[in-house]
Amino acid sequence: MIHLKFLHKRRLIARILLLCMTTSIAIAYAPAQQRSNRNANATATNPTLLTRTTTRHEVRKLGYGGTLTILGAPVGSITIEAWQRSEVDITAEIELKAETEEDLARLATVNNFAVDEDVNHLSILTTGTHDRKFMKRAARNFPKNLMNLPWKIDYHIRVPSMVDLDISNGRGAFTITGVEGAISFDAPESDANLTLTGGHVRMVVGNGSIHLNIAQRNWRGADSSFQLASGDMTVELPEGYSGEIDADVLRNGQIENQYTALTPREHETFTTRSLHGRAGAGGSKLTLTVGDGTLKVKKTVLSF
């Protein structure tokens, strides 16, 4: 039994490192992350850069049970709220920086987003100087001196509550409320805040934080996983919650369990780095994994 647990933990360590180090979003945005660091230095040494912020608004039909794919910007936040309409409402705040108004206008032609529609599937695809293939295809003679200038897009999106989400983002906050479909989210760096009642969630974050607030007394959906390579994860459970919890800190850090109604499952023992338990009558399982950091399980009070 001890040998099997050791092998299981080693596999978990290898899995989270592989997901966070070789996931497609990390690979796609690695050059953008490097340029982002250079952009910050460029801004610091050149405080005279002009800033232009524009807002773009789009509305598209999407029925319940549809799928929304979002490819975010290398830098920028994504906020998603559920509502009762069968459409997706997109508001994007696009911030550009450059030395002249002419350069800002040139950047505005590429640093933007496109909306692609298919049968019950909608895609929001960020375009810009971070995407070498896009630039070669759409802006071959684009000035090289504009390629590394800082920019970001903050998305605020409203979606039907029963919709599936497939989201990849760069560096920036992520907030989601009320969605009950399947949710996939990847980001190399993010502070994620989730208020959910169910669904099937797969979340992988490299560095940052995850704060999950479960707003019902049971998870209405399939087993879900939340993985954080480095940072702090907090999970708030309401009083009277029923469900299964598998929580592990893989390397450095500890688990702080403040939810007294969570008890060990058969043949399990809680430790400061492993907590496999059941609350109430049990139910869907939440797998919580932190590589290095603190993992807190605490009680919250329902708002109704």
Q: What is the pLDDT of residue 139?
A: 86
Question: CB–CB of 185/170 below 8 Å?
Answer: no
- Domain spans, the chain: 1-177, 197-304
pLDDT digits (tens, 9 = 90+) for 283-295: 999 999 999 999 9
Question: The tokens of 87 are what?
Answer: 């459409």
CA distance 28 to 36: 14
Question: CB–CB of 126/73 below 8 Å?
Answer: yes
- On the question of pLDDT at 78 being above 70, the answer is yes
Q: How far apart are the first and last CA of the chain?
A: 44
Helical packing angle, 2-22 and 24-45, nearest 10°? 50
- On the question of pLDDT at 223 being above 60, the answer is yes
Q: What is the rounded average pLDDT for all residues in the chain?
A: 87
Question: CB–CB of 16/227 below 8 Å?
Answer: yes
pLDDT digits (tens, 9 = 90+) for 128-177: 999 999 999 988 889 999 999 999 999 999 999 999 999 999 999 999 99
- Which class for 33: exposed (0-12), middle (13-18), buried (19 or more C-beta within 10 A)? middle
Question: The tokens of 34 are what?
Answer: 């490097």
Q: Which of 24-28, 88-92, 105-109, 250-254 has the lowest mean pLDDT?
A: 24-28
CA distances to 111, 153, 261 from 58, rounded to whole Å, are: 16, 14, 46
Q: Which of 31-40, 248-257, 274-283 has the lowest mean pLDDT?
A: 31-40
Decide which of 234 and 301 is more confident.
234
CA distance 248 to 39: 36
Strand 274-279 and strand 243-249: pairing?
A: antiparallel
Q: What is the pLDDT of residue 301?
A: 65
Place of tokens 């070789």: 22
- On the question of pLDDT at 16 being above 80, the answer is no
Decide which of 11 and 120 is more confident.
120
CA distance 109 to 294: 43
Strand 87-98 and strand 151-160: pairing?
A: antiparallel
- On the question of pLDDT at 12 being above 50, the answer is no
3-state DSSP of the chain: CHHHHHHHHHHHHHHHHHHHHHCHHHHHHHHHHHHHHHHHHHHHHCCCCEEEEEEEEEEEECCCCCEEEEECCCECCEEEEEECCCEEEEEEEEEEEECCHHHHHHHHCCCEEEEEEECCEEEEEEECCCCHHHHHHHCCCCCHHHCCCCEEEEEEEEEECCCEEEEECCECCEEEECCCCEEEEEEEEEEEEEEECECEEEEEEEEEEEEEEECCCECECCCEEEEEEEEEEEEEEECCCEEEEEEEECCCEEEEECCCCEEECCCCCCCCCEEEEEECCCCCEEEEEEEEEEEEEEEECCCC
- On the question of pLDDT at 110 being above 80, the answer is yes
- On the question of pLDDT at 230 being above 80, the answer is yes
Decide which of 42 and 149 is more confident.
149
pTM of the model: 0.86
- On the question of pLDDT at 44 being above 80, the answer is no
Dihedral in degrees, nearest 10, Cα atoms 138, 141, 146, 151: 0
Over residues 61-82, mean pLDDT: 96
